[in-house]
Amino acid sequence: MTVSLVWLRRDLRLADNPALAQAKANGRPILFLFHLDSERLERHDVDGIHVQWELDCLDRLRQEIERKGGVVLFRFGQILNTLNELHDHYKIHTIYGNEESGLQWSWNRDKSVTKWCDENSVLFEEFPSNGVIRRLRSRDDWKALRDRRIDSSLVEAPQRIRSPDNVQSDVIPHAAELGFEVRELQQRPEPGESAAMDTLFSFLDERGRGYRKGMSSPISGEIMCSRLSPYLSTGCISIRQIFYHTKRKQRRIKTNPRSAENRGWSGSLSSFQSRLAWHCHFMQRLEAEATLDEQSMNPELDALLERPFDEEKFRAWSEGTTGWPFFDACMRYLTATGWINFRMRAMLQSVASYTLWLPWRASGAHLARQFLDYEPGIHWSQIQMQSGVTGINSVRAYSILKQSQDQDPEGEFIKRWVPELTDVPSEHIHEPWLMSEKEQREASCIIGTDYPGPIVDEKVTRKEGISQAYKAKADAEAKLRSKLVYLVHGSRKRSRFQKASHLK
Ligand SMILES: Cc1cc2nc3c(=O)[nH]c(=O)nc-3n(C[C@H](O)[C@H](O)[C@H](O)COP(=O)(O)OP(=O)(O)OC[C@H]3O[C@@H](n4cnc5c(N)ncnc54)[C@H](O)[C@@H]3O)c2cc1C
């Protein structure tokens, strides 16, 4: 008797899981394996919050799988040791998995599994389950291929699962038992596949109406953004399921867009669909280049920018003690909850790269460890974009003062996350260092004692950063590289890149 092994990686769901559907169709008893690579203990971009979230999602999946008659095995260590052990015991016929686009270490792991399968006469079948096109020949073809893939029929969850006789699921451990440090998150979402669907429907039924306008502020974004990213990162929901239900809602709206019930939805849903396409677009970048956490897309540009590591600045940036109230509130909120909206993520990164001139690898790794939804393909593409090291994106250095005044005019968010400033009046909340000594005393906030003064003069250093970035971008070798970067990674929608003078 042989078994099929369904290798769970970042696809912790039963519905729309092509690898599982194929294993089921082939009729052999199925074992599910979740293998946690011990290598992740050492990685600069991994935090215990990621591992604990995965394990909690896995545990919910285990319960569902057991209800249907299946079992889930859990192993921690080196994948080949695990495969040897399981093969000795159960005789694996085929390993089924959904394609994963990860960083170089995960490619290396997958390659070693392919080799092991060849050597042990085990079949290894992988299936596409998102908008990433493996072995894509040209970026020009990507959008059409992605759109076709995303719009194809969903795969149903199996009703029953047959497992080998006399095997039981393993107990899923806590990440701390495996040596990961796990910090407690406030407002952490409910794990698992059914919580992911509930989150999608609460967005499509209610929360998403104000998405287009509400997404930019950390206050409204908390409710009006979909909050699906942690579920996507563990694969508790697929991008195709989200696309499918969003499209259905769009069709319904179209029949009567002006009715009170439908008003506001149309723009919000089309903005949301664009974000889903961006998800796939950035994941495709990692598929083409698995070293985005180490190597900039445009190394010539990166070398010209020469950003040195400054410990004091890095500490203030990462701990949210820069002396810029809105910035500090955003960093502290992120650290406490594991999530913040897109605009604020971009600001956090661009302040590191332009205003404080810190190296992007270190700030990128710090942010990766804070995001519960860490997704390397999106993350490192965005880190590089917001640091000006791709050569194909415009220089975007966010002004903290402008974001503070636009997104939190009364300082409500600031006061929630920076309690040192609770009694500072609204007119001073964005720049408390401008208060007179008397005003500081009245606000119980002495700058330099109760709350730091700004670490640098934002107006000066941000301007310097922008000017350095433009200067480097104009360099002949960097421009040449930008052309190549565009060919491999550039969005074909944005034809201005093709026309832009710096690429000529
Ligand atoms: C520096 C930086 C780092 C980031 N790191 C990550 C990361 O590690 N993981 C991650 O999922 N997103 C990342 N993003 C993108 C974006 O901020 C998050 O996807 C979003 O805030 C997640 O919240 P949501 O699910 O409510 O998003 P929504 O606004 O509801 O969007 C729905 C989905 O669309 C996708 N999406 C939204 N915005 C983007 C975008 N700009 N680029 C690509 N896909 C997008 C995500 O999958 C998201 O879950 C990063 C952005 C920046 C600027």
Tens of pLDDT, residues 327-357: 999 999 999 999 999 999 999 999 999 999 9
Which protein residues touch ligand 1 with a CB less than 6 Å away?
Answer: 215, 225-229, 232-233, 275-276, 278-279, 282, 341-342, 345-346, 349, 371, 373-375, 378-379, 382-383, 386
Same domain for 274 and 357, yes or no, is: no
* pLDDT range class, residue 498, cuts 50, 70, 90: very low
Percent over 90 (pLDDT), the chain: 95
C-alpha 501 to ligand 1 mean position (Å): 30
Tell which atom from ligand 1 comes closest to the C-alpha of 373. 9
Is residue 165 domain-resident? no
Same domain for 371 and 423, yes or no, is: yes
Neighbouring residues of 435: CB distance < 8 A, sequence distance ≥ 6: 424, 428, 443, 445, 447
Is residue 155 domain-resident? no
Minimum CA distance residue for ligand 1 atom 36: 275
Tokens at residue 333, please?
């909120």
Per-residue confidence (pLDDT) for residue 258, from 0 to 100: 86
Tell which atom from ligand 1 comes closest to the C-alpha of 341. 21
pTM here is 0.96
Q: Is the pLDDT of residue 497 over 50?
A: no
C-alpha 377 to ligand 1 mean position (Å): 11
* pLDDT range class, residue 503, cuts 50, 70, 90: very low
Is residue 429 domain-resident? yes
Per-residue confidence (pLDDT) for residue 199, from 0 to 100: 98
Distance (Å, whole) CA 71 – CA 164: 9
* Least confident window among 16-20, 442-446, 494-498: 494-498
Tell which atom from ligand 1 comes closest to the C-alpha of 371. 8
* pLDDT range class, residue 494, cuts 50, 70, 90: low
* Least confident window among 153-167, 226-240, 251-265, 349-363: 251-265
Distance (Å, whole) CA 476 – CA 472: 9
Per-residue confidence (pLDDT) for residue 499, from 0 to 100: 44
Is residue 12 domain-resident? yes
Same domain for 337 and 263, yes or no, is: no
Tell which atom from ligand 1 comes closest to the C-alpha of 208. 30
Single-letter amino acid code for the residue at 338: G
DSSP, residue by residue, 357-401: ---HHHHHHHHHHH-TT--HHHHHHHHHHTTT-SSSS------HH
Q: Compute the Cα dihedral for 452, 456, 460, 461 and give only its sign.
A: negative
Is residue 122 domain-resident? yes
Per-residue confidence (pLDDT) for residue 257, from 0 to 100: 85
Same domain for 305 and 200, yes or no, is: no
Same domain for 284 and 307, yes or no, is: no
Is residue 362 domain-resident? yes
Same domain for 305 and 450, yes or no, is: yes
The model's pLDDT over 78-96, given as tens digits with 9 standing for 90+, comes to 999 999 999 999 999 999 9
Q: Is the pLDDT of residue 495 over 70?
A: no
42 or 500: which carries more pLDDT confidence? 42
**Residue 451, strand partner residues:** 447
* pLDDT range class, residue 491, cuts 50, 70, 90: confident
Q: Compute the Cα dihedral for 433, 436, 441, 442 and give only its sign.
A: negative
Choice from 334, 378, 383, 393 to test ligand 1 binding pocket (greatest atom count within 8 A of CB): 378
How is residue 38 annotated by DSSP? G
Same domain for 343 and 460, yes or no, is: yes
Same domain for 249 and 326, yes or no, is: no
* Least confident window among 48-52, 261-265, 301-305: 261-265
**CATH number of the domain to which 256 belongs:** 1.25.40.80
Instruction: Give the 3-state secondary structure percentages of the chain, helix then strand then coil, rounded to 5.
Output: 55, 5, 35
Same domain for 249 and 336, yes or no, is: no
Determine the average pLDDT of the residues in 460-473. 97
Same domain for 10 and 41, yes or no, is: yes
* Least confident window among 159-163, 252-256, 354-358, 462-466: 252-256
**CATH number of the domain to which 405 belongs:** 1.10.579.10
The number of folded domains in the chain is 3
C-alpha 339 to ligand 1 mean position (Å): 10
Determine the average pLDDT of the residues in 392-408. 96
Tell which atom from ligand 1 comes closest to the C-alpha of 226. 30
C-alpha 229 to ligand 1 mean position (Å): 7
Same domain for 13 and 114, yes or no, is: yes
C-alpha 330 to ligand 1 mean position (Å): 16
Per-residue confidence (pLDDT) for residue 502, from 0 to 100: 36
Distance (Å, whole) CA 330 – CA 449: 21
- What is the residue range of 234's domain? 193-288
Neighbouring residues of 59: CB distance < 8 A, sequence distance ≥ 6: 172, 191
Q: Which among 268, 288, 308 is the end of a domain?
A: 288
Is residue 168 domain-resident? no
Distance (Å, whole) CA 114 – CA 319: 42
Is residue 177 domain-resident? no
Choice from 282, 373, 374, 403 to test ligand 1 binding pocket (greatest atom count within 8 A of CB): 373
Closest residue by Cα to residue 65 from 139, 190, 157, 185: 157
Tell which atom from ligand 1 comes closest to the C-alpha of 345. 53
- pLDDT averaged over the chain? 95
**CATH number of the domain to which 113 belongs:** 3.40.50.620
Q: Which among 269, 288, 307 is the end of a domain?
A: 288
Same domain for 105 and 8, yes or no, is: yes
Tokens at residue 432, please?
């408390």
C-alpha 39 to ligand 1 mean position (Å): 26
